Amino acid sequence: MPWFPDFVGAVELARQQTRAAGQADPVGQYLRALDSGDPRDLESTWPGEVVVYDPRAGVVRGHRQLRQFVGHNDSWLAGLHARTEIVASTVVNGRAVVELLAHLEEDDRKLAWPVAVVAESPDERSVVFRTYCSQWPVFGRHYVRSPILEPQPLTAGDVVGRYQAGVADGDAEAVVSAFAPDGYFRGATGPDDLHRGTTALRSYFTRRLSAGGIGVQDCALTDDGTRCAVEYNIVRWGPRDLPHQAGIAVFDRGPDGLLSAARIYDDVQPPAETQAQ
């Protein structure tokens, strides 16, 4: 009998391989969909529900809304000549946290925009993406970001817990003591908001906490022992209650047990900035 290639089997094998690769690296697949403007591989990998929590678009739910979102986002990013650089990634128990710098060009401006994307799968057919960033670098203003997750009774412990306690108490010295001598803090607005070394950290946190402690509700913890990502809601700054706002902080522990780095991704406007306007 004549032999014919098993096209159906080959297509199914390719589909399975694409799905396995996408499930192993959901954030990478999501970024490729945004870059190409084509969500088909994403939809094939996750035939159930796809949910995106995006700072600009809000909640994107289902494949139809996903296609619209990816198409609009592709057009917007193309106008900014965007390219992304992965800064760090953490994967624990099926939850992936990927930190990026999005390099944008607009007229004479060149921007490095910090963005963090969290992906987790409630089941093998569905996926949820949560994106965190400040919109200040691109749009020149802060936008209130409503909470995504409910607060949970979590504690990071060790040096991350010391940092969090210092921030909550408004104790700049306690926060600085959590960092290694050459450690750094990078704010949500990008590389221009980077403070390295004890002297720079002390100056920065003294100003940042001058109004008092910052009230934070922890919502989700992704910790591989070296890097710890905490998704949170900020609810208070000093004596002032704030609209509850979502964000994420990522901490790198050094070999000495102190923080070698802390990076935040939120769009919270400090009260001092509000008063100055």
Residue 111 belongs to a domain: yes
Give the residue from 89, 112, 139 where a domain finishes: 139
Q: Residue 171 falls within a domain, yes or no? A: yes
CA nearest to 215, candidates 232, 190, 229, 196? 232
pLDDT band at 20 (very low <50, low <70, confident <90, very high): low
CATH number of the domain that 173 lies in? 3.10.450.50
Domain of 196, in residue numbers:
158-276
Does residue 274 surpass a pLDDT of 50?
A: no
Cβ-contact 179, 186 below 8 angstroms: no
* 106 and 223 part of one domain: no
Round to whole Å and give the CA distance between 210 and 136.
22
Confidence of residue 203 (pLDDT cuts 50, 70, 90): very high
> 108 or 117, which is more confident?
117
Q: Which two tokens stand for residue 147?
A: 């909470």
Domain count, the chain: 2
How far apart are the C-alpha atoms of 214 and 28, rounded to whole Å? 33
In a domain, 1, yes or no: no
How long, in residues, is the chain? 277
Q: What is the pLDDT of residues 47-106, one digit of tens each?
A: 999 999 999 999 999 999 999 999 988 888 777 788 888 999 999 998 999 999 988 887
